[in-house]
Structure 1
Amino acid sequence: DDEKAFHGLSKRIQLITDEEFEEYTPERAAEDLRRADEDRGIIRKIRRGEFTAETIDIVKSTLVVVESPTKAKAIAYFFGRPAKRTINGFTVYEVAGGQMILNVVASGGHIFDLTTEGGYHGVIKENDLYIPVYTDIRRCNNCGEQFTDRDLCPECGSSNIRSKKNVVDLLRKLSVEANKVLIATDPDAEGEKIGYDIYVVVKPYCKDVERLEFHEVTRRALRKAFSEPRNIKLPFVQAQIVRRIEDRWVGFELSRKLWENFKVTSLSAGRVQTPVLSWVIRRVEELKRKIPAAELHLDNGLSVRLVNPPNIEDLMRKFKEGELNATVENIVFHEETVYPQPPYTTDSMLKDAAQKLGFPVGYTMSLAQTLFESGLITYHRTDSTAVSTTGIDVARRFIDENYPGLFKPREFRSEGAHECIRPTKPLNARQLRFYLSSGVLRIPQKLSADHLKLYDMIFKRFIASQMREAKVMVQEFTLKINGIEVKQNRITKILEEGFLNVNPIITTKKEAAEGTYKVVHMKVRREPT
């Protein structure tokens, strides 16, 4: 009866459960009654003592293994308020989900790593075959150092260490109790290797072991993953193994060279950091080769920039003598269409977070990890700009409600199974803060102001990518100064805002008028080429 109240209720239910109201037709009612009759028939057979596979397997126990405790908690709470039990210091969440009793537990990342004892940095060669040898990972409870093969911490000498053997024992114990094991580690090569190790650990104790893949921690994504389990992707596992061997072979050997040359054993080199350091050195050398750039301000308010102008000394002399003038001529105007940027990949997110928010790389990835595990953004380690149909639907719901008529879906297709970094809900940062503070949305971790800043940046970029283009007026003119002719252009007016309503990445400048003007301010500095 009250459409406004129904809309508000529908939106809140959708935010909490990822469910939408659908028309309940007579056909659906008949199907529900048929299933209810089937269930009653099974119950009658059980009461008569007629135990068959159909009656016994009404509810199955399923073990779900993820990487982080935060994600384990978030997934468990999707199905209701879970019970918690502690086994040898590990938290296991138990909750009913449809016809399954789910036990959700975290592995805490990798459980095995290459040994440092035997072979060539953990790799044995036999009959032209290279065999990597793995052992359990250990961590010092005092200083947090991670290592293998030692009973004492190599960093602080403490014997207060914990081994991933305890995780192996836990997973085996839980697998014995389960009808099925679902491995839900992260959807990348590292996650696939962790999933493979878990598979090897639990397979002897539970015959039914499968892999789940999802790129966002939401009910909808989980339901889809549960309905489409797959096998372990061995090429991903092999790629990670080769990469880890490269880490050892390249890193250990280069580090030893550094120790020998500089007599400092704290120095290290590696598969990634060494070529990156080489790139940094080349860039520093390039930055040393600088050229002059002049910033000029005219008495009509126009600002222009000349890069590497000839006779820079003559320009400076005339300015000091008050004789430097500039002429603006050949003014033309034309319209241009400005298209939105694609959604974020990992590298573009890190770049903007550094430039716009001042966040270091490691800090940004930590914030993004929390947002991902809280079910607020998709997986943040990706080189893809692709947008799924689910992502397009998120954008449509927000744009249709807040900017009617500006929705324009784009898939930004790219190779691979990964998706761009995007929000999972049609909520901007202000709305997200409100729903969290009011208790409508509940997440496993409390968000800081910096979490919300990063979320806001990701949200605006993604929503803008699904909106109509902007149209702007561009002014072009020729600037003549001291015998130099420079073509200049500037955006003077926004004709149609389009995506700029959400992500205002364009600033307009004052129109220039033809004529000759005096240079009233001049600043010269040397810039990298």
Structure 2
Amino acid sequence: MKLVLVESPTKARTLSRFLGKDYRIEATYGHIRDLGKGELGVDVEHNFQPKYVIPRDKAARVKELRGLVRSNQHVILATDPDREGEAIAYHMAVILSNKGARITSDKIDADRFQRITFHEITDEAINEALKNPGTINMPLVDAQQARRVLDRLVGYELSPLLWRKLSRRWLSAGRVQSVAVRLIVEREREIQKFQKEEFWEIEGEFFSVIPSRVEGSNSTDSGVKASSAAPPAGGSARNDNESIKAKLISKDGVKYESSETIKLFDGNYTFSKTSIANKEAAEAIIQDLNPPVGGPFIVSAVDKKEIKRNPAPPYTTSTLQIDAGRRLGYTSKRIMQLAQGLYEEGVITYHRTDSVNLATKFLGAAKNYIEKIYGTEFSQYRTYATKSKLAQEAHEAIRPTRVDVSSLNQSSNGKFREEHNRLYELIWKRAVASQMAAAIFDSTTIQISSGNNYLFETQGSVIKFEGFLKVTGRDAETIVLPEVTVGETVNLSKTNELQKFTAPPPRYSEASLIKALEEDGIGRPSTYAPTISTIQERLLCGKRS
């Protein structure tokens, strides 16, 4: 019987379904060798050599695993395909290569260990990995070790300093968490420094008078008179849903709205305001718009054009946390817990990734599925390039392992909670939509001019072809504008004066903090959720609804 080692018991159970009786799958229950607690654990005088120990709570498990392995038995290491997984495989190999209870050497008996990796827990992926075993990727192990040593150097040296200075022993510092806290603190200072300014906007509601036959008369009135009152007798207006709501944008060609950009600690912040500074100024303009001064109002421009909107690439770890946090309201920690469960049950690919690549096998399956369910016009083959220079392109994006399963309610047999299903559906929609045609909109911009050179503008769009939106749904309601023609006279039926204030830069949400860390090259996909969780648990920052 062949022995296969993985990290978690859930993953072990899933693998057992595929491998059968010829294999024994055992879990290490996470890391089984780490830097010692209560000491630095790094020899800074000798090339920063780490001092590894087997944690007390893992000693019994290590003894059990040693008892399962005969001295000449081959062991298959099937831990996750990332730095942490590679490190677990390495340390397990070191432990099993040492015959005694103590670790006297870090040398590995390479002939006894096979390293297999797969990015999805499916029959095909596992068998392919078993047919093509490799060895432990030492550069990947070294990368994990370097990060672990840096974490210990920063945390072990700086955390006691915080305890002494602030007399709060629950505080901590870290390579990533301290940068995250700095971003939050600087943003709070920028919010406090920001000076709000009052400004006003003006909206007008217009309708077009459609001439009709005057009751009791044999003649028709072909003239249209502009007025802010109700339509005159003998004319009828479009009904309410065909009115045109437009925003005042300029006077004599000079725009009211302007943008201002301020430099922040991390990036820039742009906000808009109008030159209408107070209520008195707004009321003066409205007075100027009323008859007899303001009329007539004429449709001065109607611009129609076709707009295409392409689907987003499939999820990476960070974009999944950002989007699921925004759409589902889950914390980044909960999102990763749910994704871990989905991966270990074999329904999605590995969830710690910064790549947007998709396997050729999935691309073909997605094409067939889309054409069968939605039609050939909805299918469009697409590949995506990862922008991050640090991305591991050997990985795949997060996607479902079966394109034909759009919901876990179809075949979960009660394994998953509703939270799992909601996250899975989000992943499925994003991956499938990435292989669909663009959505096409008919966009319309209408401008309305007054006799004394005020200009109003409104925009609307109507979906012409759903494309990928057939799967993802629409983010916003379609704004339908009535059909009007240039030169047509419209009535101003109502004006609204809206008081507003310039807003300071927004506080970070979990989603926007993850995005900032990723853009600045700080941390890795696997570190974002625990970092955000830690800085809240240590009371370094708080979250408000």
TM-score w.r.t. structure 1 length? 0.71
2:46 matched to 1:69? no
AA aligned to 2:385 is R
Corresponding residue number in structure 2 for 1:122: 41
Q: Is the 8 A contact 1:68 1:108 kept in 2?
A: yes
Return the offset for 1:125: 3.9
Q: How many Å apart are 1:522 and its aligned residue? A: 2.5
The structure 2 residue matched to 1:283, chosen from 180, 187, 198, is 187
Q: 1:76 to 1:301 in 2, by over 3 A?
A: same
Task: For 1:223 and 1:109, locate their aligned partners in 2 and report how far apart those are by CA, in whole Å.
Answer: 24
- Matched with 2:211 is none
- Determine helix, strand or coil for the equivalent of 2:301: strand
Question: Which residue identity lines up with residue 356 of structure 2 in the other structure?
Answer: T
The one-letter amino acid of 1:467's match is M
Matched, 1:409 2:328: no
Question: How big is each residue's C-alpha offset from its partner over 1:337-365, in whole Å with a ceiling of 9 and x where there is no partner?
Answer: 21111111111111111111111111111
- Corresponding letter in the other structure for 2:370: I
**Distance between the aligned counterparts of 1:478 and 1:178, measured in 2?**
82
Relative distance call for 1:165 and 1:304 in structure 2 (3 A) is farther
Distance 1:272 1:377 in 2: 28
d(CA) in 2 for partners of 1:229, 1:249: 36
Match of 2:283 among 305, 310, 318: 318
Provide closer, same or farther for how the CA distance between residues 332 and 219 of structure 1 changes in structure 2, counting only shifts above 3 A. same
Q: Does 2:367 match 1:396?
A: yes
Q: Cα 1:241–1:265, aligned 2, differ >3 Å: closer, same or farther?
A: same
Q: Name 2:70's counterpart in structure 1.
A: 176
SS of corresponding position for 1:312: coil
Q: Secondary structure at the match of 1:528?
A: coil
Decide which moves more: 300-309 or 247-256. Answer: 300-309
Task: Pick from 345, 357, 365 the counterpart of residue 316 of structure 2.
Answer: 345
Question: Counterpart of 1:505 in 2: which secondary structure?
Answer: coil
Read off the aligned partner of 2:29 and give its amino acid letter: G
Secondary structure at the residue paired with 1:220? helix
Query: What is the CA distance between 1:213 and its match in structure 2?
Result: 0.8
Distance 2:480 2:455 in 1: 21
Deviations 1:292-336 (A, max 9, x none): 676655323526596311123157641897666897642211112
Q: Contact 2:276 / 2:282 at 8 angstroms: preserved in 1?
A: no
Partner of 2:28: 107
Equivalent-residue separation in structure 2 for 1:108 and 1:483 (angstroms): 74
* Structure 1 unaligned residues grouped into runs of 5+: 1-60, 80-94, 139-162, 438-444
d(CA) in 2 for partners of 1:528, 1:78: 55
* CA distance 1:487–1:322, change in 2 (3 Å): closer
- Over 3 Å counting, the alpha-carbon distance change for 1:510 and 1:237 in structure 2 is same
Q: State yes or no: 1:78 paired with 2:18.
A: yes
CA contact (8 A) 2:8 2:29 kept: yes
CA shift, 1:252, in A, is 2.1
Q: Following the alignment from structure 1 to structure 2, what is the Cα–Cα distance between the partners of residues 434 and 353?
A: 21
Question: Cα distance 1:184–1:261, how it changes in 2: closer, same or farther (>3 A)?
Answer: same
Secondary structure of residue in 2 paired with 1:459: helix
Letter in 2 for 1:222: I
Q: Distance between the aligned counterparts of 1:231 and 1:274, measured in 2?
A: 36
CA–CA distance in structure 1, aligned partners of residues 93 and 61 of structure 2:
13
Segment drifting more, 518-527 vs 501-510? 518-527
1:220-258 alpha-carbon deviations (Å, 9 max, x no partner): 111111112111111111111111111111112221221
- Distance in 1 between residues matched to 2:156 and 2:134, nearest whole Å: 36
CA distance in 1, matches of 2:199, 2:323: 25
What is the CA deviation profile of residues 256-277 of structure 1, one whole-angstrom value per residue up to 9, with x for unaligned ones? 2211221111111211111111
1:256–1:321 Cα change, 3 Å: same
2:159 is aligned with 1:255: yes
Contact 2:246 2:456 in 1 (8 A): no
1:135 to 2:63 alignment = no
Q: How does 1:368-407 map to 2 (within 5 A)?
A: 368-405=339-376, 406-407=378-379
1:78 is paired with a residue of what secondary structure? helix
CA gap of 1:320–1:489, structure 2 versus 1, over 3 A, is closer
Contact 2:303 2:445 in 1 (8 A): yes
What SS does the corresponding residue of 1:164 show, helix, strand or coil? helix
Classify the secondary structure of the residue corresponding to 2:441: strand
TM-score normalized by structure 2? 0.69
Number of the residue aligned with 1:459? 428
Q: Find the counterpart in structure 2 of residue 309 from structure 1.
A: 274
Match of 2:304 in 1: 333
State the alpha-carbon separation in 1 of the partners of residues 174 and 499 from structure 2: 44
1:443-466 superposed Cα distances (whole Å, 9 cap, x missing partner): xx8211111111111111111100
* 1:526 equivalent in structure 2: 502
In 2, Cα distance between equivalents of 1:245 and 1:479:
65
Q: Deviations over 1:46-92 (max 9, x none)?
A: xxxxxxxxxxxxxxx2111111100000010124xxxxxxxxxxxxx
1:510 paired with 2:486, answer no
Q: Quick one: distance in 2 between partners of 1:356 and 1:251?
A: 34
Q: Determine if contact 1:392/1:466 at 8 Å carries over to the other structure.
A: yes
Q: Which residue of 2 aligns with 1:19?
A: none
Q: Residue 423 of structure 1 is aligned with which of 400, 404, 408?
A: 400
Question: Which position in structure 2 is the counterpart of 1:501?
Answer: 470
Distance 1:293 1:182 in 2: 68
The 8 Å contact of residues 422 and 459 in structure 1, kept in 2 or not, is answered as yes
Answering whether residue 159 of structure 2 is matched by residue 265 of structure 1, we say no
Q: Given that residues 215 and 419 in structure 1 are in contact (C-alpha distance below 8 angstroms), is that contact kept between their aligned partners in structure 2?
A: yes
Q: Is the Cα contact below 8 Å between 2:358 and 2:383 reproduced in 1?
A: yes
Q: What secondary structure is seen at the aligned counterpart in 2 of 1:334?
A: strand
Conserved in 2, the CA contact under 8 Å of 1:388 and 1:411?
no
In structure 2, what is the Cα distance between the partners aligned to 1:286 and 1:484?
37
Secondary structure class of the residue paired with 1:331: strand
Aligned to 2:409: 433
Q: Cα–Cα, structure 1 residues 298 and 317, in superposed 2: closer, same or farther, change >3 Å?
A: closer
- Percent identity over the alignment? 33
RMSD value, Cα: 2.9
User: Map of 1:7-22 to 2, 5 A cutoff?
Assistant: none
Determine which of 176, 184, 204 is the counterpart of 1:298.
204
Report the number of matched residues.
414
